[in-house]
Structure 1
Amino acid sequence: MNLLTNINPVTRIIALMVLTTPLLLSIDVVSAAIALAATILLAPLAGVSWPMLIKRGWPLLIMAPVAAISMALYGRPEGTEYFSFLLIHITDNSLELALAIGVRVLAVGMPVVVLIARIDPTDLGDGLAQILKLPERFVIGAVAGSRLMTLFRDDWASMSRARRARGIADQGRIRHFLTMTFGLLVLSIRRGSKLSTAMEARGFGRETKRTWARESTIGVHDIALVVVCAAISAVAIFVAIQTGYFRFLGT
């Protein structure tokens, strides 16, 4: 089940901003925990199962504890002190901040995994140019570049097979990596030049009004997604304020 199938990519980005931006106003565990719980519960409705959420969000699962530990060791010391050594002070306040930061990293990052997953670059480009009215040449160039980035892995594998077939073997992993990286850079520049020439020949550089093969629109489902994300964010902040955990950033 995927309720985001017909949602405009631009709407997904707007919904993501509506959901996560208010969370940046406060460093508290309550608002972050509510937003994170809502994201996890609603993820299957967006076509992202819980195992897939963990698989795609593993960098966040590593970053959150690292950020929490750093805050626990070097956060502003207040309250009872449990351990200290040079610049390290573990206190009630630093532990509270560590928990809040760790949960907030997940609360801000996991919605990105859910809402931005499986966005087609072409659909995103159509939305950016037609709905947000961004410069057409910039959008088309960005879409073309994103399409080419998916070829990097294939190019790397092809170069490795070609070097192996020719009997070229680098001594050491570092030398092999540097050699392959330089070859990939040269190949990317050549492909980019060919693409630029082809796009110019097809009239992508003209200043006349452009037409679009597919119309990008916003409907009721898009508005509903933004409303749901705004509601989750509002409830999270409201509960944090009512429970006394709201802690404005910088205080």
Structure 2
Amino acid sequence: MSIITLDVRRSPLGRLNAVAKLTAALTIGIVLLLSIDPVSAGVSFALTCALLPFARLSFRDLWLRVWPIAASALIASLATALYGRESGSVYFEWGLLRISDGSLMLAGAIFLRVLAIAVPSVVLFATTDPTDLADALAQLVRLPARFVLGALAGLRLVGLLIDDWRELAMARRARGVADTGRIRRFAGQTFALFVLAIRRGTKLATAMEARGFGTRIRRTWARPSTLRAGDALLVLIAVAVAAASVTASVATGAWTPVTGL
């Protein structure tokens, strides 16, 4: 069962090759890691948001995927605002806590940078089927087939682990051993899930070995993975977004290389 909806699969981004999406996400992410300033991150984030309609992701689906990253970015920015580099006017000072113009600007830059890196990656991979990604990595990037197929099988089992966790919780509750001691209950249930995962993984490895997944003979693929003009266009758009963010940052004098911090 696919983890993406049919509407997302048929979207302009959903029809593109997984390797092209991976290349686009890496292009934007690597460029944004070269500097910590709010201008380049803001421009990249704004341009990425302008391209979101092509993914056909609902706001709810996007929020469910992004909110943990946004919460982490907010925590990191708050810590930076309190303990970051001091420069300009100081607005608050108490012990080690110090809020100044420099710390606030650095906090805003970090918050925007985390979102600017995370949102394109989340959107691109939310429109990618794991099987398509595995086919592309094995056929185009030439990664070892055993590694790719093993990773794909493990990814497919994530949903089963969630179902196992729920079944374990209901079974323990039905037996009357989940009414008290939340920490002890969580530890016991985690160990039970770990044992269950090992057993299922062993059975899956045996089944894959029996079906010839472990052979050293060069395998064939049911679905060929190819690059098309739309894939090249996506990479060019990613390069354009990265170039626009750097150009705007340099033009405004906000470019701050990581090595210069």
- Bucket of the pairwise TM-score, normalised by the shorter protein: over 0.9
Task: Provide the rounded CA distance (Å) in 2 between the counterparts of 1:227 and 1:30.
Answer: 21
Q: Which amino acid aligns with 1:179?
A: G
Identify the residue that residue 213 of structure 1 maps to in structure 2. Answer: 222
Q: Which amino acid aligns with 2:73?
A: A
1:131 aligns with 2:144: no
CA RMSD between the two structures:
1.7
Q: Which moved more, 1:91-100 or 1:81-90?
A: 81-90
1:76 aligns with 2:85: yes
CA deviations over 1:84-126 (Å, ceiling 9, x no partner): 2232222221121111111111111111221110422211111
Task: Provide the rounded CA distance (Å) in 1 between the counterparts of 2:99 and 2:91.
Answer: 6
Q: Which moved more, 1:115-124 or 1:16-25?
A: 115-124
Identify the residue that residue 42 of structure 2 maps to in structure 1. Answer: 33
Task: Provide the rounded CA distance (Å) in 2 between the counterparts of 1:15 and 1:73.
Answer: 34
Identify the residue that residue 93 of structure 1 maps to in structure 2. Answer: 102
Task: Provide the rounded CA distance (Å) in 1 between the counterparts of 2:178 and 2:248.
Answer: 61
Identify the residue that residue 203 of structure 2 maps to in structure 1. Answer: 194
Identify the residue that residue 194 of structure 2 maps to in structure 1. Answer: 185
Q: Which moved more, 1:41-50 or 1:146-155?
A: 41-50
Identify the residue that residue 142 of structure 1 maps to in structure 2. Answer: 151
Q: Secondary structure of 1:238's partner?
A: helix
Identify the residue that residue 61 of structure 1 maps to in structure 2. Answer: 70
Distance 1:54 1:216, change over 3 A: same
What displacement does 1:192 show? 0.7
Select 1:14's aligned residue among 6, 23, 27: 23
- Kept after mapping to 2: 8 A contact 1:28/1:100: yes
TM-score, normalised to structure 2, is: 0.90
Q: Secondary structure of 1:132's partner?
A: coil
Task: Provide the rounded CA distance (Å) in 2 between the counterparts of 1:146 and 1:65.
Answer: 29
Distance 1:118 1:217, change over 3 A: same
Which consecutive unaligned segments of at least 5 residues does structure 2 have? 1-6
Identify the residue that residue 47 of structure 1 maps to in structure 2. Answer: 56
Q: Which amino acid aligns with 1:97?
A: L
Q: Which moved more, 1:75-84 or 1:38-47?
A: 75-84
**Count of matched residue pairs:** 251
Task: Provide the rounded CA distance (Å) in 1 between the counterparts of 2:109 and 2:17.
Answer: 32
TM-score, normalised to structure 1, is: 0.93
1:171 aligns with 2:161: no
- Kept after mapping to 1: 8 A contact 2:14/2:127: no
Q: Which moved more, 1:64-73 or 1:135-144?
A: 64-73
Distance 1:196 1:36, change over 3 A: same
Which consecutive unaligned segments of at least 5 residues does structure 1 have? none
CA deviations over 1:160-185 (Å, ceiling 9, x no partner): 33334445445311121112111111
- Kept after mapping to 2: 8 A contact 1:43/1:49: no
Distance 1:221 1:166, change over 3 A: same
Identify the residue that residue 3 of structure 2 maps to in structure 1. Answer: none
CA deviations over 1:200-242 (Å, ceiling 9, x no partner): 1111111111111111111111111111111011011101111
Q: Which amino acid aligns with 2:128?
A: I
Select 2:250's aligned residue among 219, 229, 241: 241
